[in-house]
Amino acid sequence: MTRPVRLGLFLTGMAALAATLAVAVGDLPGFGHYPGPYGTIIARTGVAARHGTDLVTTVNFDYRVFDTLGEEFILFTAVLGVALVLRRRRGEERTSEEPPEEHHFPGSSSALGAIGLALVGPVLVLGAWVVTHGHLTPGGGFQGGVVLAAAILIVFLAGEYVAMKRVAPHAALELAEASGAAGLALVGLGGLIFAGVFFKNFISLGSPGAILSAGTIPIGNLAVGIEVAGAFLMLWTEFSDQALVVRSR
């Protein structure tokens, strides 16, 4: 198919799709007039029922936690898939585990390195805070996990790729990813064992707003935070390995 034909076909199809969607919009609730029952019920009863003050996290890690388990394993499987697609192929070899010299970006300087490394600690603390306060304020395991992974990535951005691999070796990342994923499943099993229902919130709920409250929600967040941090670092090292470590023979 030539380019103009493809473009013509696309424009026809897209015009039809856009027109259909525009008509469908007429049947959606008007903006600002959300009518759905579920959100209203959770907004009214969620805090009293689960003692978590961030209702988005309460939905993700209590009411819909079974879906979150699936979502977590989507991430797990996708990272596995990336590792599989980027595996060493015939005719490729990895340079020795310690490349002779550090990788430096064009224009990188010792000032960039120093500031980058100084940021690692604060960003790690921020990530841990976002993970552990997910049930109280905006945040949670997914968001905080990415911040945690970014803290380690800063080591790489500071031009210290080998140092980053030493701080976060591949085996440790795999362990973090796998144990985090298993952690959330274990929270579900805990509900099955102690309360008779898979993923039932079986721990004492505490008082709303306290750091130790909302039962299993902060535990689930912690597990997901560890998994997401490991998963994203695995992704980034897989990709940067392609540029920095893997050589075709």
Partner 1 sequence: MSVLPYLVAIWVLSWGVYGIVTSHNLVHLVVCLSVAQASTYILLIGVGYRSGATAPIFAEIPSSTPVVDPVVQALALTDIVVEATVSALLLAIAVQTKKRFGTVDPDELRALRG
Nearer to partner 1, 49 or 117 (CB): 49
Task: Show Cβ contacts of residue 215 under 8 Å, excluding neighbours closer than 6 positions.
Answer: 50, 51, 62, 201, 202, 203, 204, 205, 206
* Stretch 172-231 residues interacting with partner 1 (CB under 8 A): 208-209
Q: Does 107 bind partner 1 (CB under 8 A)?
A: no
Q: Does 8 bind partner 1 (CB under 8 A)?
A: no
Contact 228, 142 (CB under 8 A): yes
Spatial distance between the Cα atoms of 205 and 55, rounded to a whole number of angstroms = 15
Q: Does 81 bind partner 1 (CB under 8 A)?
A: yes
* Stretch 34-53 residues interacting with partner 1 (CB under 8 A): 34, 36, 38-40, 42-43, 46-48, 53
Q: Is 133 helix (H, G, I), strand (E, B) or coil?
A: coil
Q: Is 215 helix (H, G, I), strand (E, B) or coil?
A: coil
Token pair 């959100």 is at which residue?
39
Query: Where does this chain bind partner 1 (CB under 8 A)?
Result: 3, 6-7, 10, 14, 17-18, 21-22, 25-26, 28-34, 36, 38-40, 42-43, 46-48, 53-56, 58-60, 64, 67-68, 71, 74-75, 78-79, 81-82, 85-86, 89, 136-138, 140, 142, 208-209, 235, 238-239, 242, 248
